[in-house]
Amino acid sequence: MYIYKVGIVGAGTMGAQIAEVVSYAGVPVVLADVNEVSAQRGIDAVRAIYQARVAKGKMNPEQLAEKMLLVSPSSGLDGLKDVDLVIEAVSEDAKLKTQIFHELDQICRRDTILASNTSALSISAFGAATTRPDKVLGLHFFNPAYAMRLVEVVPGLATAPQTLDDTVSFAESAGKLPIVVKECAGFLVNRVLMAYVNEAVRALAEGAATLQEIDHEMVAFGMPIGPLALLDAVGLDISFEVARILYRSYGPRMTPSPLLETMVKAGRLGIKSGHGFYDYVSGEERSQGQRLERLLQDVRTKTGLGTNLWSQSRLLLAMTNEAVTSLQEGVASAGDIDLAMVAGIGYPKDKGGPLHFADRLGIDQVLHELEDFAHTLGPRFWPAPMLRRMADAGFTGQGAGRGFFTY
């Protein structure tokens, strides 16, 4: 089925960004929200994205006007009756999203595909709220959607192959890089990323390194932004909720750092609140910085966390181990896992992704270091069983000519 018209539910940041992506591809899009004011605010946000393109000389005002003609607002969901694809992009509230899918099922044509931009919630559960679970799937864009090429396409248990194929084709036609990911909590990128950023928060809470040292070393490795600065940008409240979702599915290895919850309760949510791991409000940096030190001390006192040695390998191997676990579970292929991490979080291209990183380091060395970390830092570093099988079989990576990839 060709997608001639798209509806988007939720005219917030992500909804507006996705609307820009769709309209930029030349496809009409209806941006729906609870009332006319909210929907129009989303339209204005789409225009602002295009205006930024004009300011950079990437398009002219006439082209902006042409693209905006493709975007229309809708107060409520009734304006989505004739669309071919709906992308739900409201806040990460399972009850709210489930209710929206139930309503869309009653309003939209029977052949309309219903997709969710959720980053971690159950696609199958949303499908179960409709009479067309075969037409329901995940279509997870990354922020900012107009700049990030990666899109995770996530079929639920009942999603029809044709629905998946049509959605992948649509994403490609919109200039995106779709990766089909098996449904699981956090899908692929977020679960692998959370292992990395959560370990960074743990290292800070222990006093193993300062936040500047942690972020500097990971940027020096090649990451576009340090893990703690990234959490500030995403929002610590959003990150903590994702961490809780992952913990409910994967257990102790995904236990959120106590510091993350403490930061959220203290209102240090990152850039949007003016204070997170860093301070973003001029004139208050010193006092807020002192407050962060108090929070750190409180966490260390309550949890009994002692100082462990700092190593960037803690973060990199936490990410690698989760990537291997995802591969074991068939979430995605080795090639797609590395491609997703490069395109989704900016893992350095020259290092290829966490599985290429493991091949270069040596699977036996990865196994050895993870075992050491499991002994000194805890069982969250217990090596994925696949690593031991590979090491025993001599599939030790680039030096042996074969590992996760063939050389």
* CB burial readout 1-20, b (16+ within 10 A) else e: eebebbbbbbbeebbbbbbb
**102 catalytic residue (yes or no):** no
- CA 198-116-13 angle, to 5 degrees, is 70
Tell me the C-alpha distance between 203 and 274, whole Å: 23
Contact (Cβ atoms closer than 8 angstroms) between residue 124 and residue 151 = no
Identify which of 335, 320, 324 has the alpha carbon closest to the alpha carbon of residue 369: 320
Q: Which residues contact 349 (CB under 8 A, 6 or more apart)?
A: 342
Residues 6 or more apart whose CB falls under 8 angstroms from that of 392 comprise none
Separation of alpha carbons 368 and 168, rounded Å: 39
Instruction: Specify which residues 24 forms β-bridges with.
Output: none
Neighbours of 91 (CB within 10 A): 12
Q: Which of 102, 140, 275, 368 is catalytic?
A: 140
Residue 383 is classified by DSSP as P
Give the CA distances from residue 65 to residues 52, 174, 349, in Å, rounded to whole numbers and listed in that order: 13, 19, 36
Residues serving a catalytic function are: 140
